[in-house]
Structure 1
Amino acid sequence: MNAVVDPNGPSLVNIPSNPMPEGGRVGFFRTSDNVQLRYALWAKSAGPQRGTICLVQGRTEFIEKYFETVADFRQRGFAVATFDWRGQGGSDRLIGNRKLGYVDKFEDYWTDLHSFHGEILLPDCPPPFYLVGHSMGGLVSLLAGANDRMMFDRVFLSAPMLALDRQPMSMAGMARFGETLSFLGLGQMPVGRKADKPMSEATFPGNPLTGDLIRYMRSVDTVRARPEIEIGVPTVRWAAAAFGAMAEAGRDSFPARIRVPLLMLAAARDEVVSTAAIEQLGLRMRTGRHVVIAGARHELFMETDVIRGQVLAAFDAFITEQS
């Protein structure tokens, strides 16, 4: 890897409960529309060189949350390249309130990924390239598979955000409602429930993310060590953009646009995104399929050892053994 990293630039949170994998290199890069994003690179740690995993996160997440998963990929012979989306983690915030999730339009996340591919992956990482995306990052990854089938050889998704259940309208209807509120000047208004609370040990029982307390607390400890990487509830503008992208993924014409080998994992107990929507898309894709992980909650890479074992077995069958 030939990335030039500024020794006085960004850093990663390295704490005893969530140790950083050795050999990581961290820096900033700028997207094509001049947003500064934090990124990190790791070379493989064992085995034959199999290429590079490009790992993209869900909403609210940050590089440090995936240290264990980075180590898993490296032990399989993969280099790992990852970054924080605009508006979260160690990347540029887009509005004055740093704690709110915001994006002007969902296509801006595609700009982040496309810029990362051109600025960091192509010049600094060994091919072939495999895209691994979780939740919101999974939806961006699907759009990447539809927009440019040459960027990645295969795409592996964890609980992609294709739809949200229990909404008063369709995804398209929710997008139109959000666009109307944004037009009225309410785009930066937070969208959340009074019951929403920051993650802590007290919020673990009954949480929708994971059944593993140790992995849940790693994120809590990381944010406590560096509070500025945290974001909370989204804004009206973010919601409008996200619902619009989900509506696009739900169109009848969308499955035929995916022309790259793709595997989606869904969590049977997911209360964050719609498992049914993942199943419906998986049945309709020509170059992709889906698997539902029994007993799993939303954050498949942060789940118990038994569930993570199934996730990594699916990864090995779909990517490691094909690399």
Structure 2
Amino acid sequence: MDSILHATAGNPAPKNHFAGFLEGRGGVKVRYAVFRCRQPEAKGTVVLLQGRNECIEKYFETIEDLTTRGLWVATFDWRGQGGSDRLLTDSRAGHLLRFADYEADLSLFLEQVVLPDARLPFFIVAHSTGALVALSQAPLMENRIERMVLSSPFVALAGQSMSQGRIAVIARLAALSGLGRYTFRRAASPLGFDGNVLTSDARRFARNAGILAAHPELAVGWPTARWLDEVLRAMGRVTRQEHLTRIRIPTLLLCPTADALVPRRAVGALARIFRAGRLIEIDGARHELFQEADRYRAQALAAIEAFIPGSDDEGTSLGA
């Protein structure tokens, strides 16, 4: 096992991979890995985009599932989290200077790692914040990405003590007044399984907690005001009709109906005006579909398997 990725008890790294660091915008080091399938001929490559406060190690199980199905997987940690460079002296702060930095890092990853080193055709599977970045960049990726699957796309914010509109105003004012690097909440001990809103699966929750216990340098705390400001403004932009009309990549939206972080109604509203999108709801699942109990997770994986890779005829029916 190389020192770039970290296997832990109960979370072995998929074999047959290579990993390294990409120089992202502004010289920020971005950690990446590419996992090959066992089959001699791959069906293509999934570009796996994580959510906030996630890391490559958290997706070892899902990567294994995808490579078993004959797909390569190429993934990276967003700047400011996981094994990529942190952006503040306080390495636990979930910070971001510009949302465009996320987009630039994705573009560089595609150009410098995926295009030269992975196998065609290329697909995106993205979760939460990763899905938001994919939606934002989709009009520019039409000639590179065949299909996208967006799990719990972060297009609105729920589960907070104040409204999204009020949070947006406070975050904007903080960012403009030089307070963007501060968080709205004090650091707190991680919640136990009983208090979590991410997954109903105790085993996977414990496994993910074990990753961070063994490698606390991979963890990130609350997002900063600047992170919130940049992400909330991106939400407003990508959910407009004029932006969605420019997306021609056939897209599958996976919406867990018990998601306490992204409102179900917001994903449904997006699907209604998204010509290239098709909505599948997974009843009773929480926010992190790929970390959920088998009865929910299996539905997500089956939907991906049916959609990627897909036929041209199916693509036409989805508005491609």
TM-score, with structure 1 as normaliser: 0.91
The residue type equivalent to 1:25 in the other structure is F
Give the Cα–Cα distance (whole angstroms) in 2 for the partners of residues 134 and 166 of structure 1: 18
Instruction: Mark the CA change 1:32 to 1:232 in structure 2 (over 3 Å): closer, same or farther.
Output: closer
Partner of 1:313: 302
The residue type equivalent to 1:102 in the other structure is H
Summarize deviations over 1:80-118 as a string: whole Å, max 9, x none. Answer: 111000000000111110001000111111011001000
The residue type equivalent to 1:192 in the other structure is R
Question: Aligned to 2:249, which of 260, 271, 283?
Answer: 260
| Residue 185 (structure 1) aligned with residue 178 (structure 2) | yes
Question: Aligned to 1:88, which of 71, 81, 89?
Answer: 81
Q: CA deviation at 1:170?
A: 5.1
The residue type equivalent to 2:241 in the other structure is D
The residue type equivalent to 1:213 in the other structure is A
After TM superposition, the structure 1 = structure 2 runs for residues 126-275 of structure 1, keeping only pairs within 5 Å, are 126-165=119-158, 168-169=162-163, 171=165, 174-192=167-185, 197-199=189-191, 203-275=192-264
Partner of 2:66: 73
Structure 1's unaligned 5+ residue stretches are 1-6
The residue type equivalent to 2:134 in the other structure is S
After TM superposition, the structure 1 = structure 2 runs for residues 34-53 of structure 1, keeping only pairs within 5 Å, are 34-46=27-39, 48-53=41-46
Q: CA deviation at 1:33?
A: 3.2
The residue type equivalent to 1:287 in the other structure is A
Secondary structure at the counterpart of residue 279 of structure 1: helix
Partner of 2:293: 304
Give the Cα–Cα distance (whole angstroms) in 1 for the partners of residues 289 and 164 of structure 2: 26
Give the Cα–Cα distance (whole angstroms) in 2 for the partners of residues 139 and 192 of structure 1: 24
Partner of 2:317: none
Instruction: Mark the CA change 1:136 to 1:187 in structure 2 (over 3 Å): closer, same or farther.
Output: same
After alignment, is 206-215 or 58-67 more displaced?
206-215
Q: Is the 8 A contact 1:47 1:75 kept in 2?
A: no
Superposed structure 1 runs of 4+ greater than 6 Å apart: none
Question: Aligned to 1:124, which of 112, 117, 121?
Answer: 117
Partner of 2:315: none
The residue type equivalent to 1:234 in the other structure is P
Give the Cα–Cα distance (whole angstroms) in 2 for the partners of residues 49 and 100 of structure 1: 39
Give the Cα–Cα distance (whole angstroms) in 1 for the partners of residues 257 and 197 of structure 2: 12
Secondary structure at the counterpart of residue 11 of structure 1: coil
The residue type equivalent to 2:122 in the other structure is F
Q: CA deviation at 1:214?
A: 0.9
Q: CA deviation at 1:174?
A: 4.2
The residue type equivalent to 2:205 in the other structure is Y
Q: Cα RMSD between the aligned structures?
A: 1.9
Partner of 1:3: none
After alignment, is 179-188 or 134-143 more displaced?
179-188
Instruction: Mark the CA change 1:176 to 1:150 in structure 2 (over 3 Å): closer, same or farther.
Output: farther
After alignment, is 270-279 or 43-52 more displaced?
43-52
Give the Cα–Cα distance (whole angstroms) in 1 for the partners of residues 164 and 83 of structure 2: 33
Secondary structure at the counterpart of residue 145 of structure 2: coil
Give the Cα–Cα distance (whole angstroms) in 1 for the partners of residues 190 and 158 of structure 2: 22
Give the Cα–Cα distance (whole angstroms) in 1 for the partners of residues 175 and 3 of structure 2: 33
Q: Is the 8 A contact 2:159 2:261 kept in 1?
A: no
Q: CA deviation at 1:193?
A: 6.8
Question: Aligned to 1:295, which of 259, 284, 305?
Answer: 284
Q: Is the 8 A contact 1:79 1:125 kept in 2?
A: yes
Could you tell me the percent identity over the aligned residues?
40
Q: Is the 8 A contact 1:190 1:235 kept in 2?
A: yes
Instruction: Mark the CA change 1:289 to 1:198 in structure 2 (over 3 Å): closer, same or farther.
Output: same
Q: CA deviation at 1:217?
A: 1.0
Instruction: Mark the CA change 1:82 to 1:223 in structure 2 (over 3 Å): closer, same or farther.
Output: same
Give the Cα–Cα distance (whole angstroms) in 2 for the partners of residues 185 and 32 of structure 1: 22
Q: Is the 8 A contact 1:13 1:225 kept in 2?
A: no
Q: Is the 8 A contact 1:86 1:92 kept in 2?
A: yes
Summarize deviations over 1:57-79 as a string: whole Å, max 9, x none. Answer: 00000000000000000011101
Equivalenced residues, count: 311
Q: Is the 8 A contact 2:158 2:164 kept in 1?
A: no
Instruction: Mark the CA change 1:28 to 1:73 in structure 2 (over 3 Å): closer, same or farther.
Output: same
Q: Is the 8 A contact 2:25 2:101 kept in 1?
A: no
The residue type equivalent to 2:190 in the other structure is P
Partner of 2:102: 109
